[in-house]
Chains A and B, each alone.
Chain A
Amino acid sequence: MKKQTLANSKPLMGKIIDKQEECDDTYNFLIDLPVKNKTAKPGQFVMLWVPGVDEFPVGVAGYENDVLELGIAKMGPGTTAMLAKNIGDFVGIRGFYGKSFQTPKNINHLLIGGGFGMTPLKFLTKNLIERDDNLSIQIFEGARTKSKLMYLDWLQNLHEKDQIIFNVCTDDGSFGYKGFPTVALEKFLEESETPSVLYVAGPERMMKVIFDIGKKYENVIDMQMSLADRYMRCGFGICSYCAVDPTGWRICVDGPVFNTKQLEQISDFGVYRRLDTGEKQRI
């Protein structure tokens, strides 16, 4: 039997036990869940209910001893209300939902992200560094400016300990090199002679650019991208507001992580997404 994840249920009320500012307008939360012996995998997400305000999907940044780690970036009313929550407050959690990243052995793990896309990549990094069958673990993080870089201290620390290689950049050059993560990524891919898998989470337009780059390199054996730029209602596959064309895959259960083969079949990828009405909108 596969180890069961949280039963699909109404929101379970978890208590916030820690809250730390992560970077500009972004906080890290630790939430104690009232369930035992459940598991989550990197790439999965939960539906977070801020009582009386909104419910929305957020990636799992970590899960240990029934304590869930989330990283929340301010967007609109829902995330703003979450950022106003404090230690001791209750929020509702449904999940764990969706498919996780698949991590082969003996390859270079190239994790590329920006913004709240860094949350599942943090969880993935934590899992990868516990293994001894990696060629390398490399993080490529980009943001507009230094104060928007998520997990900067944590990643720098791992870099110093030689557990990962951290490639960081900003649009304005305030930290790391000036430019996009694709620059360092392409440089690595050009020089590398060993197989790599790309794990990408961030704005969909950026992911599409990376996808096109990755396809040029034979040593890229797979690309796994988290399509998190999508509207969700149910999170478990019943409503279909998150579905992509023409396959009818639902991001919440058939994704959010899709591999190269699947991404090639999704005609929406990088082109349009659906709104809460079901209408399409250009990305």
Chain B
Amino acid sequence: MSLITKIGSIDIRNPLILASGVMGTSYSTLQRIYNGGVGAVVTKSIGLNSRKGNPNPSVFALNEIRSAINSVGLANPGYQVFREDVEILVKNHVPTIVSIFGENENEFSEILNGLKDFPVLAFELNLSCPNTEKGGIQIGTDSEAVFQIVKRLKSETEVPLWVKLTPNVSDVIEIAEAAVNGGCDALVAINTLKAMVIDIHTKQPILGFKKGGLSGAAIKPIGVRYIYDLYERFEDRIPLIGAGGIMSGEDVIEYLLAGASAVQIGTALGVAYPENMIKFFISKIKKYMRENEFKSISEITGGAH
């Protein structure tokens, strides 16, 4: 039995990937999570310039639904500063996917070109962050823009390009189609869902930005449905990476059965002992594979269809 996971042309040691924005602002946390046992890590989404993000509160837990809401708003140090962190990760052989975001094609291109000298595993295009007024969300909902960006970046690098989809659209297939036609190497779904929380004592939205994105257990069935729909449409033409509400090894299996080749985990790793959590995930996946006589991860992919 092997956990080695194939995503297009790349292999990682198991199907667990740290999702963007969780434990991902510095090389040291990313290195720590990789040492903890995941197959690969995705950095916080990095932009052209440094960005403060939104005022606090910008992240809190909703324990009654095992979820979290955030409006971090792509706070990041800018790609020039972040190069240092990528350099250390690459030097330490951490399989790193750099998530990037921009407001338009040219911004994406500038960031990609500013980082492409590093042998990273892939670039993940964040076309889908709901927490900024400009940028992400418009691009990720406009299929023509998605096609143009992917096509352009594809012509500028040999490194695999993953496209992260937003669930906040009426027709995800149309956007996915545009990304695939543009030449992307994998699709990642889903990012957080538009959400908000209001305090009834003060009658005010709690997040400093008022509105945010929901992650964690509450969004899992939605993510599973997206992956199922995408697999129905593309089958094995494009690798799918499932994300959203994965809180256990069983949830990983569910995403694989829906059609994912690998998964990303965010909220579940934002805990005091992420290393224990990763071990727990892996042991549950192995147990399932043993009991169901699966020899490899790829045998599970799409099993529910």
Contact = CB atoms under 8 A, between A and B. Distances in A.
Interface of A: 7-11, 13, 47, 49, 51-52, 54-56, 90, 92, 94, 233-234, 236-241, 243-250, 253-254, 274, 276-279
Contact of B59 (A52, A238, A245, A247): A238
B22 A10 contact: no
A214 B207 CA distance: 42
Given A13-B201, A47-B57, A277-B53, A243 B76 contact: no
Contacts of B68: 238
A277 B147 CA distance: 30
Nearest to B88: A246
B208 interface: yes
A11 B23 CA distance: 22
Contacts of B206: 10-11, 49, 92
B60 A9 contact: yes
B199 interface: yes
Nearest to B268: A238
B29 interface: yes
Contacts of A250: 23, 29
Nearest to A6: B63
B56 A243 contact: no
B52 interface: yes
B199 A92 contact: yes
Contacts of A56: 56
Nearest to B273: A253
A240 B22 contact: yes
Contacts of A234: 58-60, 70, 270
Contacts of A240: 22-26, 29, 44
5 contacts: A13-B202, A234-B70, A240-B29, A276-B53, A277-B75
A158 B270 CA distance: 41
Interface in B29-88: 29-33, 44, 50-53, 55-64, 68, 70, 72, 75-78, 81-82
Contact of B50 (A236, A246, A247, A279): A279
A238 B28 contact: no
Contacts of B51: 277
A7 B28 CA distance: 28
B197 interface: yes
Given A11-B199, A54-B56, A240-B22, 9 more contacts: A10-B197, A10-B206, A11-B57, A92-B57, A233-B59, A237-B272, A243-B28, A253-B271, A277-B75
The listed residue with most B CB atoms (<10 A of its CB), out of A47, A92, A94, A247, is A92
Nearest to B32: A248
A55 B56 contact: yes
A256 B22 CA distance: 19
B82 to A, nearest CB: 8
B22 A239 contact: yes
Given A239-B72, A248-B31, A52 B201 contact: no
A38 B64 CA distance: 17
Interface string B193-215: 00001010110101010000000
Interface string B4-38: 00000000000000000111111111111100000
Nearest to A51: B202
Nearest to A253: B272
A45 to B, nearest CB: 14
A247 B32 contact: yes
A237 B204 contact: no
Nearest to A54: B56
B57 A49 contact: yes
B267 interface: yes
A277 B50 contact: yes
A243 B282 CA distance: 25
A11 B32 CA distance: 29
A10 B61 contact: yes
A9 B202 contact: no
A279 B44 CA distance: 13
A134 B148 CA distance: 70
Contacts of A278: 25-26, 44, 50, 75-77, 81-82
A210 B62 CA distance: 40
A277 B52 CA distance: 5
Contacts of B75: 241, 276-278
A55 B19 CA distance: 25
Nearest to B53: A276
B166 to A, nearest CB: 20
A248 B81 contact: no
